[in-house]
């Protein structure tokens, strides 16, 4: 029974992915007469004939000399081979190479934020749940209310200003040698940590509070559940109840939310990376946007979407397969 659900779910994900691929292909082609012009915009000092030659050459270079339908087919073929297209950058590097180069750096920030956010967040959340109604709890609620309204990039700017420029504790802008001079030595890692400090700090505050609030609500909800009452009635120790029953059961929603937020991991950091000039996928995307580098932009979008679909699918399945209480009715 569950397995049909699993298969249906996977098929559905594939369907969504297929639609996303198609959208991905066609969106940049809106309003473009001749893609070659986008790459090699005409220069004032070129004659008509020269420019025509140049356009032809460029078109062939990027595969635009065939019909749109054919281009779509080529695109799909390329995707199956793991080829996300060629960027418009000088040197025409492959999109996939550019992305893979920057991806680890984005993950450094995301994973750090997530780890710190989850661990400290859960701790604070449990604390607030336990001290429900007391000052710890209210403080968390107030913090949550404020954090929603305060954009992370604003925090980033403030931190960058005070801790970076004024007090010079951490570098206000990412040092470019962090990436180029990177080695797996203590020095290299220390450099990365130094530069990552402010970006992570900007994001982690919101993350901690978010997870804290979530944990607090989950714990309180679970505490009111029947099985906890039963456990209490059975006379189990308070701590056992806390750890074995409450915490573990409230973890499941937290885990699922983790799964969802993974998709936000990569894409959502764009602004923070911009503020600190951190060389991750966020800045790569913005660069691509500024230079109208469509293959690169769409490559990143596709990757992010694919990743999101995957994350949702996995969390979905994990939840379904693990939680014994779930009976799989019809999906909608």
Partner 1 sequence: MAKRLMLLILVSIIIIPLVGCESPGHSYRPDENTLYVGSVQTSFPSAYMPWLSREGIAPTIAGMLYDSLFVYDEDSGNYLPAIGREWYYVDEDGEPILTEDGSIDYARLEEIYGDPEQEFLAVKVIIHDTITWSDGEPLTVEDIYYSFDIATNNQLSNHAGALAWTSDLRHKYTNGVLTQQGLFTYDHGAARQGYEIPMEDKDTVIYLHVNKVLGSVTPLFTSVLILPEHVWKPVVTRESQLNSTSPNEEILYHYSHPVGSGRWVLDAEESGSQQIILHRRKDYHRTKEDGSPLIGIDTIKYVLYQEINVAIYALLKGHIDVLSSSVSSNYLRLFENEDDLFVSNAPGQFTQTLVFNLNPVSSERNPMRDLLQNRDFRKAMALAINQEELIARVLDGAGLPASAGLMSASLEEFYNPAADSLPADYSTRIEEANAILDSIVPEKDGDGYRLLGDQRISFQILGSPGEQDVISFLQIQLQKIGIEVKYAAKGTQPESTYLYTSRFDMTLHGVTFSLSNVDIMYPAHFQTLGRTSNYGRLVNEELNNGIHEMRFTLDLNTKYDLIKRIQPMIAEEYYKVPLYTPNVISVARTDRFEGFRVVEGATVMNTESLENLRKTKGGR
Partner 2 sequence: MRTKQPMHKRFQRGLVKRIKNTGLFIKRLWSHKQGKVGLILVSFLILVAIFAPIIAPYNPYDVSERTTKGLAPSAKHLLGTTINTGQDIFSMLVYGTRVSLIVGVTSGVCIAFVGSVFGVMAGYLGGFVDTLIMRIVDIMLVIPTLPLVIVLTNVLGRDFWIIILIFVALGWTGLARTIRSLVLVLKNSNYVKAAELAGASRWHVMIRHILPGTSHLVIMSTALSSAGIMVAEAGLSFLGLGDPTAISWGKMLADAQSGGALLFGAWWWILAPGIGIFLAVFSFMRLGIVMEEIANPRMKQTSSVYKIFKSLDGSYIEDVFNSMDDDQKLGIPETARQGGKTHGTHLEA
Residues 110-129 that bind partner 2 (CB under 8 A): 113
230 part of the interface to partner 1, by CB under 8 A: no
Residues 295-324 that bind partner 2 (CB under 8 A): 297-298, 300-301, 304-305, 308-309, 312, 315-316, 319-320
Among 174, 263, 278, 280, binds partner 2 (CB under 8 A): 263
C-alpha distances in angstroms, 206 versus 19, 142, 198, 202?
33, 13, 13, 8
- Which residues are within 8 A (CB) of 140 and not within 5 positions of it... i.e. 6 or more apart? 124, 125, 128, 209, 212, 213, 216
C-alpha distances in angstroms, 54 versus 46, 91, 295?
10, 17, 20
User: In this complex, which beta carbon is closest to partner 2, that of residue 22 or of residue 56?
Assistant: 22
C-alpha distances in angstroms, 152 versus 18, 43, 189, 190, 280?
33, 41, 25, 25, 17
205 part of the interface to partner 1, by CB under 8 A: no
Select from 6-14, 35-43, 305-313, 321-329 the region that touches partner 1 (CB under 8 A).
Answer: 35-43
Distance CA 99, CA 302 (A): 11
Q: Tell me the closest approach of the beta carbon of residue 202 to partner 2, in angstroms.
A: 9
Among 85, 171, 267, 280, binds partner 2 (CB under 8 A): 267
Distance CA 201, CA 234 (A): 44
Instruction: Judge contact between 288 and 296, C-beta under 8 A.
Output: yes
31 part of the interface to partner 2, by CB under 8 A: yes
Instruction: Judge contact between 293 and 89, C-beta under 8 A.
Output: yes
Select from 43-51, 52-60, 98-106, 149-157 the region that touches partner 2 (CB under 8 A).
Answer: 149-157
Distance CA 180, CA 176 (A): 7
| List of residues contacting partner 1 (CB under 8 A) | 33-34, 37-38, 40-42, 44-48, 50-51, 53-55, 57-58, 61-62, 86, 89-94, 101, 119-120, 123, 126-127, 130, 165, 168-177, 179-180, 190, 193-194, 197, 239, 242, 277, 279, 283, 287, 290-292
């Amino acid at each position: 029974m569950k397995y049909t659900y699993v298969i249906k779910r996977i098929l559905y994900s594939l369907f969504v992915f297929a639609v996303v691929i198609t959208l991905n292909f066609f969106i940049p082609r809106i309003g473009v007469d001749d893609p070659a012009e986008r790459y090699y915009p005409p220069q004032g000092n070129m004659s008509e004939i020269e420019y025509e030659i140049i356009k032809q050459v460029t078109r062939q270079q990027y595969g635009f000399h065939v019909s749109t339908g054919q281009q779509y087919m080529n695109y799909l073929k390329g995707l199956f081979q793991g080829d996300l297209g060629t960027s418009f950058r000088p040197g025409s590097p492959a999109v996939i190479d550019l992305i893979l180069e920057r991806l680890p750096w984005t993950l450094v920030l995301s994973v750090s934020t997530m780890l710190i956010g989850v661990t400290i967040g859960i701790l604070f959340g449990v604390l607030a749940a336990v001290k429900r109604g007391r000052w710890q709890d209210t403080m968390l609620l107030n913090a949550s209310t404020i954090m929603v309204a305060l954009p992370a990039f604003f925090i980033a700017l403030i931190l960058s200003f005070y801790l970076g420029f004024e007090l010079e504790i951490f570098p206000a802008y990412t040092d470019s040698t962090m990436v180029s001079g990177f080695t797996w030595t203590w020095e290299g890692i220390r450099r990365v940590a130094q530069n990552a400090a402010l970006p992570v700090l900007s994001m982690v505050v919101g993350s901690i509070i978010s997870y804290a609030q979530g944990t607090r609500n989950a714990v309180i909800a679970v505490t009111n559940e029947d099985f906890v009452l039963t456990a209490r009635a059975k006379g189990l120790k308070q701590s056992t109840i806390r750890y074995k029953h409450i915490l573990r059961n409230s973890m499941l929603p937290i885990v699922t939310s983790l799964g969802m937020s993974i998709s936000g991991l990569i894409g959502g950091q764009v602004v923070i990376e911009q503020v600190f000039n951190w060389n991750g996928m966020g800045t790569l995307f913005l660069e691509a946007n500024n230079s109208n580098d469509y293959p690169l932009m769409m490559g990143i979008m596709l990757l992010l979407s694919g990743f999101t679909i995957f994350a949702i699918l996995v969390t979905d399945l994990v939840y379904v397969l693990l939680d014994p209480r779930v009976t799989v009715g019809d999906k909608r």
